[in-house]
């Protein structure tokens, strides 16, 4: 129930939802302040420059792994992979956050760690999908990552469960895990909440931010100021994370 309610709450505060609600109120009541508020929010949220400034404030800045530094595992929280079938063939479908996967593969190939830990179940309210971690493992195998180097946790559906279920898995697979260090690979805007959850679960994690939305089109003046969906999308992610932090603190997850 908490999972479903959190999804509904996120949808209600999304910029597009707020704008639509205001415009619908205007169409029903003809009160012009609803129209002006709706148009004002549209202009504000669709501005890439403002959204990138906000993202730059919130994102956890990327850091480079020191030369010859090693980690006992590379942890990837899910949220960017689903699947669908075409003529009986299963196809893995990647969404915008797939930079987590790409960076994790790069880190593995560079020898930063000999273990990838993918934590994600089937994060969906409607429909039936394979657990994301299973799909992720399929892709990692295609990228020539040995199966023996991949551990998956496939029951979690949110960040809190990513962390707590991973800790339980480590309990079974490596009794000495609490004394080891892991590289947490996730989107910069998601890193604060993920870092807090994994730390609370007792896992010694170090942040490796990916998918940095604050630097997109930053060097292109026209793209930086030209209204677009990218600005709305940034605010959607940011508001979701701020609500997530607040809810997780109330629930005692972090």
Q: Are 127 and 238 in contact (CB under 8 A)?
A: no
Q: Residue 57, Cβ neighbours under 10 Å: how many?
A: 9
Please, which pLDDT band fits residue 26 given cuts at 50, 70 and 90?
Answer: very high
Q: What is the mean pLDDT of the chain?
A: 89
CATH topology for the 73-211 domain: Rossmann fold (3.40.50)
pLDDT of residue 176: 94
| pLDDT tens by residue, 222-233 | 666 677 788 898
Best CA proximity match to 211, nearest among 73, 95, 66, 75: 95
CA distances to 79, 145, 234 from 51, in Å: 22, 37, 6
Backbone angles phi, psi at 43, to 5 degrees: -65, -45
Best CA proximity match to 203, nearest among 171, 235, 251: 171
d(CA 206, CA 65): 10
**Domain ranges for the chain:** 2-59+224-251, 73-211
| pLDDT tens by residue, 170-203 | 999 999 999 999 999 999 999 999 999 999 999 9
| Residue 66 DSSP label | P
Is 80 exceeded by the pLDDT of residue 111?
Answer: yes
CA dihedral of residues 10, 11, 17, 22 (deg, nearest 10): -70
């Amino acid at each position: 129930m908490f999972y479903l309610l959190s999804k509904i709450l996120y949808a209600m505060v999304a910029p597009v939802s707020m704008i639509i609600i205001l415009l619908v109120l205007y169409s029903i009541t003809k009160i012009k302040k609803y129209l002006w508020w709706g148009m004002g929010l549209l202009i504000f949220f669709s501005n890439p420059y403002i959204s990138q400034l906000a993202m730059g404030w919130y994102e956890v800045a990327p850091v480079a792994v020191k030369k010859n530094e090693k980690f006992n595992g590379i942890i990837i929280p899910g949220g960017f992979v689903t699947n669908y079938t075409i003529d009986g063939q299963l196809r893995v479908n990647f969404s915008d956050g797939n930079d987590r996967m790409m960076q994790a593969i790069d880190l593995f190939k560079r020898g930063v760690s000999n273990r990838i830990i993918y934590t994600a179940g089937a994060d969906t309210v409607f429909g039936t999908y394979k657990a994301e971690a299973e799909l992720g493992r399929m892709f990692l195998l295609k990228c020539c990552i040995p199966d023996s180097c991949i551990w998956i946790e496939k029951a979690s559906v949110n960040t809190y469960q990513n962390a707590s279920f991973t800790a339980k898995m480590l309990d079974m697979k490596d009794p000495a895990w609490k004394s080891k260090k892991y590289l947490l690979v996730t989107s910069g805007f998601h890193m604060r909440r993920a870092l807090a959850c994994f730390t609370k679960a007792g896992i010694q994690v170090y942040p490796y931010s990916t998918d940095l939305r604050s630097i997109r089109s930053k060097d292109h003046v026209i793209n930086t100021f030209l209204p677009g969906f990218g600005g709305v999308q940034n605010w959607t992610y940011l508001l979701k994370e701020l609500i997530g932090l607040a809810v997780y603190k109330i629930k005692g997850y972090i």
